[in-house]
Chain A
């Protein structure tokens, strides 16, 4: 399917920025949209994503630059004042850079559940349009991914994009997947195009949001020579909350035997222990570990350490602790807003106080 498309203002680029977390499919969605524009809409286009070390859970930005067929694209710079920002994960709104450069007249599409529009959106300029869609819910229901839903919403929100054409591109992008997956994507895309809501009066900003460029903390006159970091363990200031994708472990003291197995498998060192309040630990019954576990294990000995809970600032929600726990002391729960805050047991109380909700990575 090919369709000649005219951009709202052919004299300049139309620029879209996806703000996401690795694993949510923002890169793929951006690529599909730009590719479709070039191959099926007779537009010129470019696409690229911010690239870190491609770990799951880190921040990903995906940039789509569209221009008329004859308009050359020479710049390779990131998009700093976009016409549209699509926010794949609401937690990203805590960072000002997520909405940086947003101007009056532009559009924000936000993946959020109904009635749960995050506070961060109040900074949006009053003259911008805010669109909400529960991409996660639709994706789960359709066994698709949030990116297909958000592409559907984006297409519906931009009159110059033809839904059938974008859908063709989406299907091409997943051509190597089975027909079931393609059909699921189609459904997710269609629902994304219908089940969104334009929310009024949320954006209160009186001005365009400033463009932000990351500025280093140290410069050539202040940094220790050679790149040396005399700051042991200062990753504790990072906040990894956004790495979780819907689930978190909930700790139940009553069930815990304080055996310490969860500590051996938690990749993120976020289990908080204290050595007060000794109790009695029954012998371990965990087949996969007991095989070679020494007979002098915890046994009937009284442990002088107790598990207090989880520091959700660092917990990435992998749920390995649950898989390993020999009792029911760790259970998997859907993460609802505020849940982690209520259950939080800080490893470094002073950090929580000083930094609050910002994240450092």
Chain B
């Protein structure tokens, strides 16, 4: 099919505006802002989402607009991307327009839902700000995430710049909902390069008209919200039926091949901007070409211009559509090209080329006359820049091949570094000897009468010369509370310790490669699965000990460190570990939000608090549901020991940490939640920890207590000590909650106070009754 291969000689910022029919205005937006602006203008019914860099800003921008009443999209913060994908799927079955945005691990965590949604033919739009997948964790751009979506049955549109992000979101809705298609659509743009770079672009002035005349009303053939027409969605379907269902899907993709150019042509008429299925830049008489996706292709165009000026016949091919794969367009465009470099920003390990490369090779193979020499290159992984010198090298390699009529290196990584044997990162500190950290800073004794543990602490100064298990030099914000929490806990834990940190601030700021602040063995796994990972390690440890296969039989304590957000997305595996009662500690530092990704709401964020996904504006004031009571969730797992503590009460926390170690060694899983100061996102001065933490406890927002062998004991009762404060005293101390002091938000404040008080009374009742 040779349609739509047009020379898009016009650069993106000045795409032709031949007869645009819709009035537009100039704006200056990043890719993420463009996706949010498009969502506002499309007027989706619902967005289900979970924050992940670099796509988080889509939800953040929409939250800001929502707070000011600029759109009416229902925003549902998922408990993780899998949950968010489920929310979106459910909403799509309801027949309205649905949006999501994610990246990297988020897409992979949601991946299981993608074929479900395509196979049951529920359109929606998913924006991907592309990012490298773990591990090790890397937040920057490559295409390893979106390549995983190639086999899911979703249509994939590629947006090379913020303007394209805006425009293609409109196209995505219309394509996906087309009666012949009925498939979900993914719009992929480059993380950071496009998601975070602001460019000049044009938005519709009159979104209402575009909605009505271009998009029309969504018209789902089946919905779950029409009781007069009952439908079964998702039957149990084995052979011989499933293969037919899949052929239907395949036919829908084929239909999309026809529908996509039509929709893009309509969009062209509306906006004056053309997105051919294949963007063929200066390809008309090209001898050599490079094939690249998204922002890298734009860089290569710049270089192509220079080479053309010097008389070299070069061009750039970059599809705007990746699924359905434009094989015919590639074949046509490459017919008389002598050599082409195909650059993949992700590898299909062991396949001698990334997916794009393999698919273009397959496309060319269908043309028996094709003689194009193909060079496959993997470039730009993990955000490695691809600049004009890189593009120039690709052109040069293609030119050399064209000249020599052969391909010297069919497949290679581009832009890597072999290393210099004489160069090493700064050396580490010596390992901490067991004896150095076995100094009895806390002596734990079981009281035979009460059955409870009693702790005697050494004087504080005695701990000051213990070697720290975390070295200085980490990159946390000034005043960060996570490190006092860790220090207080570490200073009483005896002997050898192995820690697993879930994704979050503590992990990111301590392990920026090639440096690590951890002086003891440390593991990271993503925060949806840390507890399971540590449980596996704990069981391996015991089994190796039992078989006598562990040299010197070290006595190791295992602890997982997680943020409060990790106890949203990762609570499933954490509860699994709790119910299996492994010998380990789960330590949650609760800073009341997803701080690492820029302070989005977590379920631990209290009602009314301002976060970057629960903004305060003319129409809304902060988070709309109450804070999660994670300690009570774990208490109901009937664990040997559950506690809460505050960074502001070190001695209390240290006693509890010592008990935690004893229980983790002798009885099983311990869960502890520690309130941890975050000056950056609580919006306080860096040295406000003491007063803010103190008031959080004194106002009973954050009671410190323990549940030891099922019995609840409040460690510090502000009522008894005459120190009870009002919740508003606490909220008045933080910039993120200042708005709750205004009379406009009296209702919210009263609701928080009532909930805090109810939970406190309940806790006191448990404290008083051993059976509760």
Contact = CB atoms under 8 A, between A and B. Distances in A.
B460 A72 contact: no
B314 to A, nearest CB: 15
Given A288-B648, A305-B461, A231 B475 contact: no
Contacts of A34: 28, 198
B26 interface: yes
B514 A218 contact: yes
A75 B423 contact: no
Interface in A251-295: 258-261, 263-271, 273-275, 281, 288-289, 291-294
B470 A243 contact: no
B520 A232 contact: yes
A182 B519 CA distance: 48
A234 B515 contact: yes
A34 B648 CA distance: 44
B478 A74 contact: no
Interface string B5-49: 000000111100000000000111010000000000000000000
B650 A289 contact: yes
Given A303-B462, A323-B687, A233 B471 contact: yes
B418 A220 contact: yes
Nearest to B715: A292
Contacts of B420: 219, 222
Nearest to B462: A305
Interface stretch (A111-119, A132-140, A310-318): A310-318
Contacts of B12: 72, 74
Contacts of B198: 31, 34-35, 45-48
Interface string A42-73: 00111111010111111000000000001111
Nearest to B689: A320
A31 to B, nearest CB: 7
A70 B14 contact: yes
Contacts of B508: 53
B429 A232 contact: yes
A291 B478 contact: no
Interface stretch (B210-218, B258-266, B322-330, B479-487): B479-487
A240 B473 contact: yes
A236 B687 contact: no
Nearest to A50: B192
A218 B518 contact: no
A307 B425 CA distance: 31
Contacts of B431: 232
B459 A269 contact: no
- Please tell me the size bucket of the interface on B: 35 or more
A237 B456 CA distance: 36
A233 B516 contact: yes
A307 B465 CA distance: 10
Nearest to A244: B478
Interface stretch (B230-238, B294-302, B569-577, B733-741): B294-302
Contacts of A297: 459-460
B519 A223 contact: no
B28 A317 contact: no
Contact of B651 (A270, A289, A322): A289
Interface string A224-258: 00110111111111111001110000000000001
Interface string B452-471: 00001101111111001011
B459 A299 contact: yes
A76 B197 contact: yes
B400 interface: no
Contact of A74 (B135, B299, B488): B299
A233 B519 contact: yes
B463 A263 contact: yes
B690 interface: yes
B712 interface: no
Contacts of A31: 198
Nearest to A286: B690
B194 interface: yes
Given A56-B680, A233-B428, A292-B715, A227 B479 contact: no
A38 interface: yes
Contacts of B459: 260, 296-299, 301, 303
Could you tell me the dominant secondary structure of chain A's interface residues? loop
A361 B475 CA distance: 8
A73 B13 contact: yes
A129 B459 CA distance: 59
A221 B418 CA distance: 5
B200 A76 contact: no
B196 interface: yes
A270 B473 CA distance: 9
Contact of A227 (B136, B465, B473, B652): B136
B421 interface: yes
B388 A77 contact: yes
Give the one of A72, A274, A307 with max B CB within 10 A: A72
A150 interface: no
A34 B598 CA distance: 23
B604 to A, nearest CB: 20
B208 interface: no
A123 to B, nearest CB: 24
A53 B511 contact: no
A215 interface: yes
A217 to B, nearest CB: 5
B427 interface: yes
B474 interface: yes
A213 to B, nearest CB: 8
A216 interface: yes
A324 interface: yes
Interface string B555-588: 0000000000000000000000000000000000
Nearest to B457: A294
A240 B648 CA distance: 25
A70 B302 CA distance: 15
B541 interface: no
A236 B472 contact: yes
A2 to B, nearest CB: 11
B444 interface: no
Contact of A318 (B385, B472, B475, B686): B686
Given A76-B299, A260-B463, A281-B461, A231 B197 contact: no
Given A233-B429, A233-B516, A218 B477 contact: no
B200 A237 contact: no
Contacts of A316: 477-479, 686
Contacts of A319: 479, 686-687
A256 to B, nearest CB: 11
B649 interface: yes
B427 A231 contact: yes
A120 interface: no
B760 interface: no
B13 A260 contact: no
A297 B459 CA distance: 5
B149 interface: no
Contacts of A55: 475-477, 505, 509, 680
B473 A323 contact: no
Nearest to A42: B26
Nearest to A361: B475
B367 interface: no
A258 B688 CA distance: 23
Contact of B483 (A227, A268, A281, A324): A268
A303 B461 contact: yes
Nearest to A36: B28
A257 to B, nearest CB: 9
B349 interface: no
A292 B649 contact: yes
Which 5 pairs of residues, A with B, have the shortest CB-CB distance?
A219-B419, A72-B11, A222-B419, A235-B473, A233-B471
Interface of B: 11-14, 26-28, 30, 54, 135-136, 139, 190, 192-194, 196-200, 295, 298-299, 301-302, 385, 387-388, 416-421, 423-431, 456-457, 459-465, 468, 470-484, 487-488, 505, 508-520, 596, 598, 647-652, 679-680, 686-690, 694, 715-716, 721
9 contacts: A222-B420, A233-B429, A235-B473, A235-B516, A259-B460, A264-B460, A296-B456, A299-B459, A320-B484
